[in-house]
Chains A and B, each alone.
Chain A
Amino acid sequence: MKRLVVGAHYGLRDWLAQRITAAIMAVYTVVMAVVLLNNSFTYNSWKALFAQGWMRVATLLFAASLAWHAWVGVRDILMDYIKPDGLRLTLQVGTLLLLAVYVGWTIQILWR
């Protein structure tokens, strides 16, 4: 039997991961909207907000969710529109690197 080599079992996992990360980000978004509406937007209140432990952890969780979510989404877009294999692979690697930079940058900002 001839089989096509097109990855193994990552379809369902990514589909589920994208939905779980979406739910995490949605909750963070609603919480953030409420928090920001009650913030006076001075330097001290802004800094105090991101100095809280729960806020740092929640924001890091958001960044990690975003990275995974964006990886699934951007990879889908690249698979749909970029046909030359070499170019697509390059862009996919670039996407992963950029997402890693985002997460690293977030950690740097939060724990300075």
Chain B
Amino acid sequence: MASASAKKIRPKYLSLPALLFEIRLPVPGWVSIFHRISGAWLFFPFAAWLLYLLDTSLQSEQGFQYVKTHYLTLPLVKLGMLAFIWAYCHHFCAGIRFLFLDLDKGVDLRTARITSWIVILAGLALTAIFGARLW
């Protein structure tokens, strides 16, 4: 019986417009998917990019000056840095929330929604703070 129902082809409604405009995630769902997206970005390309910056800035005086006074002032680089900072901060905050969920803290719907908003806003606020220092 289980195998018979498994073979039955069910209609799937996961077109791109449906994913984008019709299926709506609850707030904790957004925290979760952003945690995943930011994690993937941090793995690549951001980790490689930061290693490149660390490498260049520690290699020589010229390398350090190049990174500090030229490279990090380029608008596209700044934008990339902003994206990195957001990814790191969101991943950090959401990760701490997940650690609390592991300990069964804040799993009821009301608290879960509140902490989700806190994570999203904290990620953006930290991005603004560190981004402002970069500029």
User: Which A residues are within 8 Å of any B CB, using their own CB?
Assistant: 19, 22-23, 26, 29, 41, 43, 46-47, 50, 66, 70, 73-74, 77, 95, 98, 102, 105-106, 108-109, 112
Contact = CB atoms under 8 A, between A and B. Distances in A.
Interface string B5-25: 000000000000000000000
17 contacts: A19-B99, A29-B92, A43-B61, A43-B64, A46-B64, A47-B58, A47-B64, A66-B47, A73-B39, A73-B43, A77-B39, A95-B43, A98-B48, A102-B47, A102-B48, A109-B54, A112-B58
B65 to A, nearest CB: 7
B38 to A, nearest CB: 10
Contacts of B105: none
Interface of B: 36, 39-40, 42-44, 47-48, 51, 54-55, 57-59, 61, 64-65, 68, 88, 92, 95-96, 99, 102
B92 to A, nearest CB: 6
Contacts of B42: 70
Query: Which secondary structure dominates chain B's binding surface?
Result: helix
Query: Which secondary structure dominates chain A's binding surface?
Result: helix
Contacts of A108: 55
Contacts of B61: 43
A109 B51 CA distance: 8
Nearest to B126: A33
Nearest to B133: A37
B21 to A, nearest CB: 21
Given A41-B68, A43-B65, A74 B43 contact: yes
A43 B65 CA distance: 8
A47 B65 CA distance: 13
Contacts of A77: 36, 39-40
A50 B58 contact: yes
